Chains A and B, each alone.
Chain A
Amino acid sequence: MKKSVFLGALTLAGLAAGTAMAQDSSTLAAVKERGVLKCGVNPGTPGFAAPDANGNFVGFDVDVCRAVAAAVLGDSEAVEYTPLTSAVRFTALASGEVDMLARNTTWTFSRDVDLKNTFVGVNYYDGQGFMVPKDLGVSSAKELGGATVCIETGTTTELNLADYFRVNNMDYEPVPVESFTEAQTQFLAGACDVYTTDASALAASRASFENPEGYVVLPEIISKEPLGPLVRHGDDNWGDIVRWSLNAMIAAEEYGVTSANAAEMANGTENPEINRLLGVEGELGAMLGLDNAWALNILTQVGNYGESFEKNIGENTPVGLARGLNAQWTEGGLIYSPPFR
């Protein structure tokens, strides 16, 4: 028995030692030296992050990784993707296994403060919704009392679900599932009446069903789920780089800079804000410790926020999400970048 206690302790210590390499003094220097950005993504949510037919990750979240790689390394393809489950994502980030997370992660107080992460912005304003088969005859989440609900464990959605049903005085039977795919299998087999997760993921999931018309997403949105990229605490310069890479995509859409016209606009325009963004004027890139063409690289290689949205999850894609809250502030949405000045 003594021996097994020893061996147990040894194993534990070994696990913990995995975190040994967490302390790069500067993530930027480490990424530049490595020549590749390590980015944690969702293992498979169509539209947000999923491997395409050739096995390359594509999607809306993946584009954030590509933007950062373009800004830092000048090459949007210099990314090593690490698919992470919701259970291990923060550990992977804290241990230095990945440089950043772009994995539809909800920005919450405790994740930001207690778990020592830095959320650098919001790339998708989401909320939790419910999907049911049409023939269940349910038109509102208020009618779901007594239902069996499939829910991914270890997510904020699990906590919202518990609160929503308690506040509305309804019982339910949670069916915990480990992954997105397992949830779909159970839901399609009828082992649960309802599938609940972020509304964007519901749409993505419904798009991949054989018979999408047989399922409806209920109108209630029961939570705020601001999804965004994050980095670990303690390296503010790296946080700034990821934050402003995202902001560059957002600002570019606002000013009409696209992947098609960015190179041309980089010769100089009338608008000083665009000039600063594209490195024609000022030294914004140098302030970040990057090349002055950092934002130009993002826009020519990845495109602006709107382009990425339309290409991956917009209304003309199978996922088919409307811009809604995620329209530019000028269009009545919440997407807003601080000025480049």
Chain B
Amino acid sequence: MTTATNTPEDQGFRLSQLIYDTRYRSITIQVIAMLAFMLIAAFLIRNTIINLSALGKDIDFGFLFNRAAYDINQQIIPYTSDDPHWRATLVGLLNTLLIAVLGCILATIIGVIAGVLRLSKNWLTARIMTFYVESFRNIPVLLWILAFMAVLSEALPAPRAFRGDDPAASMWLWDSVAVTNRGTYIPAPVWGDGSVFVVITFLLSLLGIWAFGKFSQRRFEATGQILPNFWIKLAIFFVPSILVYFVMGRPITLSYPELKGFNFGGGLHMRNSMLALWLALSFYTGSFIAEIVRSGILAISKGQTEAAFALGLRPSRTMNLVILPQALRVIIPPLISQYLNLTKNSSLALAVGYMDLRSTLGGTTLNTTGRELECMLLMMAIYLVVSLLISSGMNVYNKSVRLKER
């Protein structure tokens, strides 16, 4: 068999080839698109610079080192109005991260429960979960945040109501938790002398649980025997820490909230702004996660379950050993973007007065210094970095649960 060698004569490169030759056409289009994009970007940036200089405004981040002069109610690190703007920004950033971490945890819990229950054979349970998912994900999250805030501040009693001999409101759980329209006050730990040993013991027991898990897995693979893992881990979790706690003479005590002046004092104050934002973001994102979990589980063919049952595995082991490991690789990638969404949506915090990055750097700092462009640029850079960090962290986890082809 002869192959026809009809290679055209090499006529050298002609300009028309840029349009008519498929080998070059795509490059031509890309180059033109790129040039157009760069022209537009250059135009906009030049425009900005000219306008700023015409207004007599320069780009200067020096304001970050001036006295901030405003107060922030929720501080993870100490802050007073004498501190500079960068520290206020840092306080705001930490508040953003706090709400993001708490939100991601709660949203995942809610999402997994709702996602699994939506597949329940119980008609009522499945319908309730459908109702939850559809109502939360089809209403803008800002409205949910405001709704939660309205409920918390309108429906709950003011601290004044706890006063007097026959108060209109009373505290919960043996007078240890006060739920008011300014926030919820819970007992806070007070770290006395020697409490550091209790904490170290506790951290060591966590390490012990991890080591025991490895050991038990190896033993299972070698001998086929299954230890009562759960009970042993539970014992490691509690027993050593409690022993050390009593040996050291109970160094950790609780401070309980009590009425002092206008408000409750003592204990830990979880502000309503934080609770409203946290719950609203968690329930909102949870509804999306529920759908992701449901789709992940449905993506695993029924044959897998049936095969596991045929081997005699109990339903819980089937879920843990067969279904979930396979479902996770479907679930994790969209879950990453939900975590990113939650983090970015937390910038709506200003609506309820939660002092996050947007409220400190992008709110009061921006307003009092008048440095709009600088604050916006800095804020965008910080959110970008946070998002990229979350996404790269989750990608590492994704790699570890990905289907490994051997």
Residue A12 at the chain B interface, CB threshold 8 Å: yes
Given known pairs A1-B388, A174-B71, A191-B182, the reply for A146 and B44 (CB within 8 Å) is: no
Complex Cα spacing A136 to B160, Å: 9
Residue B12 at the chain A interface, CB threshold 8 Å: no
Out of B41, B353, B366, B373, name the residue touching A9 (CB < 8 Å): B41
Within 8 A of A (CB), among B124-140: none
Chain B residue contacts of A166, Cβ below 8 A: 80-81
The 8 A CB mask of A97-127 against B (1 = contact, 0 = none) is 0000000000000110011100000000000
Chain A residue contacts of B380, Cβ below 8 A: 8, 12
- Taking the closest CB of chain B, its distance from the CB of A335, in whole angstroms, is 29
Residue A159 at the chain B interface, CB threshold 8 Å: yes
B353 pairs with A163, CB closer than 8 A: no
Q: Which residue of B lies closest to A166 (CB)?
A: B81
Segment of A16-24, A41-49, A204-212, A273-281 in the binding face:
A16-24
Residue A82 at the chain B interface, CB threshold 8 Å: no
Residue B227 at the chain A interface, CB threshold 8 Å: no
Complex Cα spacing A8 to B160, Å: 48
Out of A155, A186, A193, name the residue touching B262 (CB < 8 Å): A193
Some 29 contacts from A to B, beta carbons below 8 A apart, are A16-B45, A16-B52, A22-B54, A23-B54, A86-B367, A94-B55, A146-B260, A146-B263, A146-B265, A147-B262, A147-B263, A148-B182, A153-B350, A153-B359, A153-B363, A155-B367, A158-B368, A161-B71, A162-B70, A166-B80, A173-B263, A174-B73, A178-B350, A186-B153, A190-B181, A191-B158, A191-B272, A233-B56, A234-B55
User: Which applies to chain B's interface (DSSP): helix, strand, loop or mixed?
Assistant: helix
Chain A interface (Cβ < 8 Å from any Cβ of B) = 1, 4-6, 8-10, 12-17, 19-20, 22-23, 86-87, 90-91, 94, 110-111, 114-116, 136, 145-148, 153-156, 158-159, 161-163, 165-166, 172-178, 182, 185-186, 189-193, 232-234
Chain B interface (Cβ < 8 Å from any Cβ of A) = 37, 40-41, 44-45, 47-48, 51-52, 54-57, 69-73, 80-81, 150, 153-154, 158, 160, 181-182, 260-263, 265, 272-273, 350-351, 353, 355, 359, 363-364, 366-370, 372-373, 376-377, 380, 384, 388
A87 pairs with B73, CB closer than 8 A: no
Q: Which residue of A lies closest to B80 (CB)?
A: A166
Given known pairs A17-B48, A19-B51, the reply for A146 and B262 (CB within 8 Å) is: yes
Q: Which residue of B lies closest to A86 (CB)?
A: B367
Chain B residue contacts of A193, Cβ below 8 A: 262
Chain A residue contacts of B70, Cβ below 8 A: 158-159, 162
Task: Sort A-B residue pairs by CB-CB distance and give the 10 closest, nearest first.
Answer: A154-B367, A13-B44, A16-B48, A190-B158, A146-B261, A176-B353, A162-B81, A115-B370, A191-B153, A19-B51
Complex Cα spacing A148 to B153, Å: 14
Out of A22, A145, A153, A234, name the residue touching B261 (CB < 8 Å): A145
Chain B residue contacts of A159, Cβ below 8 A: 69-70, 368
Chain A residue contacts of B261, Cβ below 8 A: 145-147
Complex Cα spacing A15 to B48, Å: 9
- Taking the closest CB of chain B, its distance from the CB of A81, in whole angstroms, is 22
- Taking the closest CB of chain A, its distance from the CB of B80, in whole angstroms, is 8
Q: Which residue of B lies closest to A183 (CB)?
A: B353
Chain A residue contacts of B69, Cβ below 8 A: 159, 162-163
Chain B residue contacts of A162, Cβ below 8 A: 69-71, 81
A13 pairs with B41, CB closer than 8 A: yes
B355 pairs with A22, CB closer than 8 A: no
Complex Cα spacing A91 to B51, Å: 13
> Contacts A19-B52, A191-B153 given; 10 further ones with Cβ under 8 A?
A4-B384, A17-B44, A115-B370, A148-B262, A153-B350, A153-B367, A155-B367, A158-B70, A159-B70, A234-B56
Chain A residue contacts of B363, Cβ below 8 A: 87, 153-154, 176
Complex Cα spacing A165 to B71, Å: 10
Out of B48, B56, B181, B370, name the residue touching A189 (CB < 8 Å): B181
B154 pairs with A189, CB closer than 8 A: yes
Given known pairs A8-B380, A178-B350, A191-B181, the reply for A19 and B364 (CB within 8 Å) is: no
- Taking the closest CB of chain A, its distance from the CB of B398, in whole angstroms, is 16
Out of A145, A173, A182, name the residue touching B73 (CB < 8 Å): A173
Chain B residue contacts of A145, Cβ below 8 A: 261
Chain B residue contacts of A176, Cβ below 8 A: 73, 350, 353, 355, 359, 363-364
Chain A residue contacts of B369, Cβ below 8 A: 110
Residue from B70, B359, B363 whose CB has the most chain A CB atoms within 10 Å: B70
B364 pairs with A116, CB closer than 8 A: no
Complex Cα spacing A22 to B57, Å: 13
Q: Which residue of B lies closest to A14 (CB)?
A: B44
Chain B residue contacts of A177, Cβ below 8 A: 353
Given known pairs A9-B41, A153-B353, A177-B353, the reply for A148 and B372 (CB within 8 Å) is: no
Chain A residue contacts of B351, Cβ below 8 A: 178
Chain B residue contacts of A114, Cβ below 8 A: 370
- Taking the closest CB of chain B, its distance from the CB of A277, in whole angstroms, is 34
